[in-house]
Amino acid sequence: MTQDEFDRRFRDEQERDGEGVHTIVQEKPDCKGPIPGQQPEKPQGGGGEKRDDPSLSKRRKGTLTRIAVLVALVVAGALGYGVYQRSQRNQAAQRELENRQNLVPEVRIEKVKAVDTPREVHLPATTQAFDAATIYARQSGYISQRLVDIGSRVKAGDLLAVIAAPEVDDQLTQARAQLKQMEATLEQNQANRALANVTNNRFKPLVQQGWETKQTGDQYQYGLAAQNAAVDVAQANIIAQKAQVARLERLQSYERVIAPFDGVITLRNIDVGSLVTADSTSGTPLFAIAHDEVLRVQVHVPQDSALQLKPGIVATLDVPELLGRAFTGKIARTANSLDANTRTLLVEADINNPDRTLSPGLYGTVHFIVPRPVPVVMVPASALIFDQHGMQVATYSDGVAHLQKVGIGQDDGAQVQIALGLKAGEDILVTPPAGIADGEKVKPAPQKPVKEAKK
């Protein structure tokens, strides 16, 4: 039965019920008629009361029964539909679970290769001047001339300043005069020696012939020896005086401050009129000079790379403030001994700086191309699996992934050296799925075609 038929039948029943009530009201003996809007009163008394029609009550019960059955059918249909929908969802979830369990993931597989190409080592470094010196005063006095300032470019032997030291100049003049005096004394002694030699030669045969006494012969003989000694003394005095003159000339030369090598003046502590003192402990520093055409770069190399770095290996310096420029040089020297505290080797590289773009004291990064003593196994860093079992990689064989424990060596970021547990030629999963288990089935992902470069 449809809803429309049910509603129509229900209205018919209500109309019939209304007619029965109206008939009872009309048959009431003393009723003058029903009051509009008021329900008719039921007749009182036992003998005159009329009962409802039994057929009418039966029809009402049938209607209520049909309504209850209809409601029950609707509720049952709704419950059945809900159960059906839930069953469908459970079946779909079960199928999805089975699909996931039976799904074989696609993974990218690469063959492990032994790498023997040189590797690049990046280390922090600081630039230093190839030669650097602080120039002190070697002569006390006043600065009479200052010819350079901070930033001045000088050549070896250029005059930087002049120190006025009149005391030294006077001492040198006196020493030179004394030298001339000693040279004159030598000439005098040489003349006396010549005279004594002539006299001795004349009297020596006379003594032998008995014309002169032996006393006279001895007197002239030892007089000649005394003159020879006087000449030797004069010559020694001259040598000593020449040494004194040379010392004073050297002191006088210190009045002229000259550059020891080519470079740039990086420090100036004096001006004209400044008093400077020549002292080994409290001497006055005049200038600081640095040779920057070639720079020294000192690097502390870790032990894993120290043994491969030798003099002559190319070194490249990058400075953050000079992007795009690389300064090349070579390793010039090493300490040949590692620091026991840091396990590093001090390495010095000479970096060419012909245009003097670099300055001493800069921070940069030095790149060394280090040869490998033996081929090593390198894998992508993404192939490593680190979990509660340690460091592992997933190898591939016959459609199955196998977890293999490995020991890593040098880590270059994108590539990691495998020291233990893996050999060249094995297939590994480049990007293993999360939670992959040993023995899980996998299949290689199809290789993407390489696009040819446009000409």
For 87-125, the pLDDT digits (tens) are 888 888 877 776 666 677 788 888 888 888 888 888 999
Q: For position 50, what pLDDT does the model report?
A: 45
| Alpha-carbon separation of residue 133 from 129, 288, 333 (angstroms) | 10, 6, 21
Closest CA to 160 of 276, 62, 69, 287: 287
Q: CB-based contacts of 118: which residues, under 8 Å, 6+ apart?
A: 369, 370, 371, 372
Q: CB-based contacts of 239: which residues, under 8 Å, 6+ apart?
A: none
Closest CA to 427 of 382, 394, 378, 390: 394
Distance CA 366, CA 343 (A): 19
Closest CA to 246 of 149, 176, 142, 154: 176
Residue 370 φ/ψ region, left for φ over 0, alpha for ψ in the -120 to 50 degree band, beta for the rest: beta
Q: For position 454, what pLDDT does the model report?
A: 46
Closest CA to 435 of 407, 399, 403: 403
Q: For position 157, what pLDDT does the model report?
A: 93
Closest CA to 359 of 123, 124, 128, 153: 128
User: Which residue ranges of the chain lie beneath pLDDT 50?
Assistant: 19-50, 450, 452-455
Contact 419, 451 (CB under 8 A): no
Q: For position 4, what pLDDT does the model report?
A: 64
Q: For position 16, what pLDDT does the model report?
A: 60
Contact 453, 138 (CB under 8 A): no
Handedness of CA 216, 219, 222, 223 (dihedral sign): negative
Q: Scanning the structure block, which residue is given the tokens 């209607």?
A: 63
295: phi then psi, degrees, rounded to nearest 5? -110, 145
Q: Is 176 exposed, middle or buried (0-12, 13-18, 19+ CB in 10 A)?
A: middle
- The overall longest dimension of the chain from CA atoms, in Å, is 224
Closest CA to 119 of 248, 308, 257, 273: 308
Instruction: Supply 322's token pair.
Output: 């000079």
Q: CB-based contacts of 176: which residues, under 8 Å, 6+ apart?
A: 245
Distance CA 94, CA 90 (A): 6
Q: For position 22, what pLDDT does the model report?
A: 43
Handedness of CA 22, 28, 32, 36 (dihedral sign): negative
Q: For position 344, what pLDDT does the model report?
A: 92
Q: For position 14, what pLDDT does the model report?
A: 60
440: phi then psi, degrees, rounded to nearest 5? -70, 140
Q: Scanning the structure block, which residue is given the tokens 């460091």?
A: 391
pTM score over 0.85: no
Q: For position 31, what pLDDT does the model report?
A: 41
Q: For position 410, what pLDDT does the model report?
A: 76
DSSP label of 56 = H
Handedness of CA 257, 260, 262, 264 (dihedral sign): negative
